[in-house]
Amino acid sequence: MQQSLLRVVAQLKRAQRILIITGAGLSADSGLPTYRGLGGLYNGHTAEGLPIEAALSGGMLQSDPALCWKYLAQLAGACLQARPNAAHMAIARLQKLKPECWVLTQNIDGYHRAAGSPAERLIEIHGQLTPLFCLDCAAEDGDLPAHLTAPMPPRCRHCQGLLRPPVVLFGEMLGEDSVARLQGEMAKGFELVICVGTSASFPYIVEPLIRTKQRGGFTVEINPERSAISAQVDIRIGTKALDAIPALVSHL
């Protein structure tokens, strides 16, 4: 592994345009369960016998908001109990050292922002947990912890409308602004793409890596488990983000 780390360090020193793609495996090192795989929070079905994709869908929020919020609350509670880890902090330091280093994350926990990653170079493609907003009057509500201890689903203090977080639920479209930012940066190109702790099961996660390879850039995967991109990257480091990323950045 040490030789692979040193090869990636050499690429990091050379590159200016860098993209770090992060998934649930990064926050797993904070104690937050991943959706699937080892320690998966949602392996199999829910207690109601539903696939988690059905329970955490936009359609379920409309048809049975209490059931949808049951699992949103579990996810939110787990996120609020944990904190950014040393890998999040190291990525934020890398962005300070490299002004054209971007982060594209599938995670909704907000740990990149909490660790210091600049908002202008952070694309939270699946949204974030706060602030909640009312589907009827659009009022914002920043007190997520209080709602998690109250009856579900949470209601607006102004009009009693249904509250929801600004996340992309299953079956919903990605946010137009996030997609536009990602497409704009991909059009400029990246010299180095590092995928961290993601199963890479979505096209918008794979596309930046493929386009970078086509342009002659360098690609890396950091993940203890093999994924859809494992056979395509230039270097695969089969370890946890917490073991690899701080070590990489410490050499810069």
Domain 33-81+131-164 belongs to what topology? SIR2/SIRT2 'Small Domain' (3.30.1600)
| Domain positions in the chain | 1-31+84-129+172-252, 33-81+131-164
Categorize the per-residue pLDDT at 180 as very low, low, confident or very high, splitting at 50, 70 and 90.
very high
Distances from the Cα of 155 to the Cα of 65, 132, 133, 160, 219, angstroms: 11, 10, 10, 5, 45
Categorize the per-residue pLDDT at 38 as very low, low, confident or very high, splitting at 50, 70 and 90.
very low
Tens-digit pLDDT profile for residues 113-162: 999 999 999 999 999 999 999 999 999 999 999 999 999 999 999 999 99
- In sequence order, which residues have a C-beta less than 8 Å from that of residue 184 and are 6 or more positions away? none
- Mean pLDDT is lowest, of 77-81, 152-156, 238-242, for 77-81
Tens-digit pLDDT profile for residues 193-223: 999 999 878 888 899 999 999 999 999 999 9
The CATH number assigned to the domain with range 1-31+84-129+172-252 reads 3.40.50.1220
- Kindly report the backbone phi and psi dihedral angles of residue 250, in degrees, each rounded to the nearest multiple of 5, phi listed first: -65, -20
Does 33-81+131-164 match 1-31+84-129+172-252 at the fold level?
no
Task: Supply the residues annotated as catalytic.
Answer: 126
- Write down the pLDDT at residue 39: 40
The first and second tokens of residue 10, run together, are: 């050499």
